[in-house]
């Protein structure tokens, strides 16, 4: 976050933006020298003229102690350095993968590993007879699990890229994770019912443990989806 800047304009805090975007934003202000800026690493908000890395690039050869140009009537007034007290205790909005978002990122990575491990265990548990008589069932389950792994991997890539598409993909992933056991059971029950010519209900059996796991998954999904939709950190981080 050290390369992301906040600045004060019109009495309001704005940002975060990289310095490449900050400079043109400051340039349109009548007197940019006195605009307050802050980034991680600075003890407090400072006027532009006191921040060398911005002042040298924005003001160029203009002496820092020269008289400011007249304020244009059609431009918003800058926030003067004398008003720094108003921003002294203002905390810039959170951004970056930390806090609860770091926990979400950890869960994403561990979720992928768990899916791969579960698929490996499933493949090892399949007997030769099942492979021989019910290959369609097996391949269907394999495709469902492969799709979930692919979705989880892509969502994780979007997360670490800070892509604006991450929240939408994450919500889809969480909903699929909740619905996948039901879809999987429907497919398996349908295939076995048709193959063995037995009632569908003989195979569509939701055990108590599965019900509990589904409820826990649904509650977890609801919590994290709400967080992603309402968190300011998420809104500030996924902007690319």
Q: Are 32 and 76 in contact (CB under 8 A)?
A: no
- Tell me if the pTM is above 0.85: no
Backbone angles phi, psi at 99, to 5 degrees: 65, -140
N-term to C-term CA, the chain: 14
Cα angle, residue 237 at apex, residues 235 and 240 outer, rounded to 5°: 100
Residue of 7, 25, 8, 6 whose CA lies nearest to 16: 6
Query: ω into residue 16 within 30 of 0, thus cis?
Result: yes
Q: Check residue 183 and give its pLDDT.
A: 78
Dump pLDDT digits (tens) for 58-111.
Answer: 876 444 444 444 444 444 444 444 455 555 555 555 778 888 899 999 999 999
Please report, for the chain, how many H helices and E strands are present, in that order: 9, 4
In this predicted model, what pLDDT tens digit does every residue of 155-212 receive, in sequence order?
Answer: 999 999 989 999 999 999 999 888 887 877 777 777 777 777 888 777 777 777 777 8
Give kind and range of the element (H or E) at residue 174.
helix 166-196
Output the pLDDT for position 141. Answer: 81
- Strand pairing of 46-47 and 4-9? unpaired
């Amino acid at each position: 976050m050290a390369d992301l800047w906040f600045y004060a304009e019109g009495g309001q805090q704005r940002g975060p933006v990289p310095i490449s975007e900050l400079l043109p934003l400051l340039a349109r202000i009548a007197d940019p020298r006195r605009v307050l800026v802050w980034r991680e690493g600075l003890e407090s908000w400072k006027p532009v003229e006191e921040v060398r890395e911005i002042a040298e690039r924005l003001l160029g050869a203009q002496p820092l102690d020269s008289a400011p140009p007249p304020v244009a009537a059609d431009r918003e007034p800058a926030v003067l350095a004398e008003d720094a007290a108003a921003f002294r205790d203002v905390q810039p909005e959170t951004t970056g993968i930390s806090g609860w978002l770091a926990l979400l990122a950890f869960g994403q990575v561990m979720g992928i590993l768990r899916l791969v491990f579960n698929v490996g265990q499933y493949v090892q548990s399949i007997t030769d007879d099942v492979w021989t008589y019910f290959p369609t069932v097996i391949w269907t389950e394999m495709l469902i699990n492969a799709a979930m792994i692919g979705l989880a991997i892509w969502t994780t890539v979007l997360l670490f890229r800070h892509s604006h598409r991450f929240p939408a993909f994450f919500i889809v992933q969480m909903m699929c994770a909740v619905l996948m056991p039901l879809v999987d059971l429907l497919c398996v029950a349908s295939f076995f019912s048709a193959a063995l010519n037995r009632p569908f209900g003989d195979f569509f059996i939701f055990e108590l443990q599965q019900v509990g796991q589904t409820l826990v998954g649904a509650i977890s999904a609801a919590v994290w989806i709400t967080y992603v939709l309402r968190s300011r950190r998420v809104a500030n981080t996924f902007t690319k």
